Structure 1
Amino acid sequence: MAVRPTRRLTQLLAGLVLYGVSMGLMVRSTLGLDPWDVLHEALSERTGLSFGLVTGILGALVLLCWIPLRQRPGVGTVANIVVIAVAVDLTLALLPPPSALAARIVLMVSGVVLNGLATATYIGVRLGPGPRDGLMTGIAARTGVSIRVVRTGIELTVLAVGWLLGGTAGIGTVVYALAIGPLTQAFLPLVRWRPERVDAAEA
């Protein structure tokens, strides 16, 4: 029996919204961002465009790099660009920057944990990788270099460029780098889509 796409699409959108919220939490903490967001913040400050808009534009530009890599986007790829951009801008508009260090630490830690859950949530439905993830897997497939090496190279590059342009790198960047892998792995079994498990409401 075919499974209706409603639950998968709902989980995809929920994961992407949570991802944008997690980005906003880390931005407001001012304690350091993940490598791509260091670059997003730097470009936002230099261009005057909103953080979310920069995220979406850069995501679309990265998607163009898929063409020579022969990567195929899915519905999740396009949704990734649009939903995250809107969600992070809404979060930043609604969440004032705290001044107390304790509150900033809470935002940073919450952002990292929520990012791990959000990543597992939208990856788990298998409706297409985000532009940056697809760039990583595409380069690895075309070059034969391991995904770990490719991802490290890409993230170190964007981190360095973002930092040189004035993006915020700090303890939050280190915490994110150390925790995001284990967090995503821990959450993934809880949210991974399994075709053989059909909810009664969808049967």
Structure 2
Amino acid sequence: MMLIGNLRHRPVRRLVQLFGGLLLYGASMALMVRSELGLNPWDVFHQGVSRLTGLSMGTVVIAVGLLVLLAWIPLRQRPGIGTLANAVVVGLAVDLTLALLPPVEPLAAQIALLTAGIVGNGMATALYLGARLGPGPRDGLMTGFTARRPGRSLRLVRTVMEVVVLAVGALLGGKLGVGTIAYALAIGPLAQFFLPRFDVPEPHPGTTTPRIETAPTA
């Protein structure tokens, strides 16, 4: 599969932004784990698999990301540099943060961790997407399924995928809770708020002049 993501335009900023975003993404996931108040659907699945297999959560995140990438092949999706980095760096950041951050017990501290985790996740999403070096493995799977049948709703595909991984993760012992609901309600608006601030405009074809795009409204 050919890699997507042209690094000729502002390479230093884009690479720093990409890896900074991925490290923050993994750290924010770990904050939500330590809050014990619930995780987003994919992390409920990751945690459930971790408890079933005895593998660290970060290792599971990496393994699932690589397996999802294999599903890109029949869907004819092309990974970017950011796609491959996402599959590895996020999991490493999860394990490192969990190793450094002990569990907390006071509810106020748990709420603070949950809030920081959700806000950090929204910012991290905007950072790595704004670098324009390829979507994450799970996002590419979603767009690949949608592209196979023109007219299929992207929102419907995403909803079905997240309901499935949430249900399987819950059956395996992953943590659902108020954080799961809070994440679902907040992540879209947060990502939309941060993305215009971190988006790296693409240059016009054949020039180095950035093309300014408006932020998405939905």
1:7 to 7, 10, 13: 13
Identity of aligned pairs, percent? 63
Deviations 1:66-110 (A, max 9, x none): 011000001000000111011010000000000111100100011
2:163 to 156, 160, 174: 156
Structure 1 position 17 matched with structure 2 position 23:
yes
- Distance of 1:130 and 1:4 partners within structure 2: 21
Indicate how the Cα distance of structure 1 residues 120 and 4 shifts in structure 2: closer, same or farther if over 3 A, else same: closer
Query: Where does residue 53 of structure 1 map in the other structure?
Result: 59
SS of structure 1 residue aligned to 2:94:
helix
Structure 1 position 109 matched with structure 2 position 115:
yes
Counterpart code for 2:184? A
- Distance of 2:76 and 2:9 partners within structure 1: 29
| Gap runs ≥5 in structure 2 | 1-7, 203-208, 211-218
Give the drift of 1:6. Answer: 1.2
Larger relative contact order, structure 1 or 2 (CA cutoff 8 Å, min sep 6): 1
Give the drift of 1:140. Answer: 0.5
Query: Where does residue 175 of structure 1 map in the other structure?
Result: 182
Structure 1 position 93 matched with structure 2 position 99:
yes
2:196 to 165, 173, 189: 189
Query: Where does residue 128 of structure 1 map in the other structure?
Result: 134
Query: Where does residue 71 of structure 1 map in the other structure?
Result: 77
- Distance of 1:89 and 1:20 partners within structure 2: 8
- Distance of 1:168 and 1:3 partners within structure 2: 41
Structure with a larger share of its residues in helix = 1
SS of structure 2 residue aligned to 1:65:
helix
Query: Where does residue 213 of structure 2 map in the other structure?
Result: none
Superposition map of 1:23-62 within 5 A:
23-62=29-68
The RMSD of aligned alpha carbons is 0.9
Counterpart code for 2:154? I
Taking structure 2 as the reference length, what is the TM-score of the superposition?
0.88
Give the drift of 1:143. Answer: 2.0
SS of structure 2 residue aligned to 1:33:
coil
- Distance of 2:164 and 2:120 partners within structure 1: 25
Q: Which runs of 4+ in 1 moved over 4 A?
A: none
- Distance of 2:190 and 2:13 partners within structure 1: 23
- Distance of 1:180 and 1:71 partners within structure 2: 25
Deviates more, 1:32-41 or 1:143-152: 143-152
Give the drift of 1:31. Answer: 0.3
Give the drift of 1:185. Answer: 0.3
Aligned length: 196
Taking structure 1 as the reference length, what is the TM-score of the superposition?
0.94
Deviations 1:19-69 (A, max 9, x none): 000000000001000000000001111111110000000000011110110
Give the drift of 1:3. Answer: 3.1
